[in-house]
Structure 1
């Protein structure tokens, strides 16, 4: 329901404020959407890697090939940028999660660490 504020000659209609549950739902959907995008991106890159290996006649042990490294580096960089953007948008708890992740070189590729390091200043 809209609230109507009257002035001397004009009527100003202000929209109702968003209920808290809508804000929580929007935040939750942002996290789910990000997880889906990252998962889909990795799966598509795995398919591209398989095709590239067949094209270049590479074994599964040839992870040092520049084409394979470039493919994964590009994917990791774009995913890291998506993650950073979402974390900065959500703020609060998610900034702390990003700070923690940016210090975990044992579980994240270097592209993520380089991108998420900006969260350490917050």
Structure 2
């Protein structure tokens, strides 16, 4: 199974999700999206696997979200992806993508919805 993590090492939730994936015995492809922003084509591939609306990829806090008018409910998915491509800080980290699904994992327990093997065994 292929797992990609769009990761910000400065984010505690992102670090926790990375640790949870590794604890499940999976070494993900880690994309530090602020250093190596995803291309628009890569964002299209991510969006195609999303199990939530594309709008859920947007991070509001600490970003130019309001200044860019991204609070407009009439924005298309394409416009949202264009904004993320132009301003990678808008990506709501961490985002986990598997062969079957993708989703922002905030809170970290959302990881179990797309990667159930990451759930710790119950004693």
TM-score (norm 2): 0.25
Taking CA–CA contacts closer than 8 Å with sequence separation of 6 or more, which of the two structures ends up with the larger relative contact order?
Answer: 2
More helix by share: 1
Higher Rg: 1
TM-score (norm 1): 0.25
More strand by share: 2
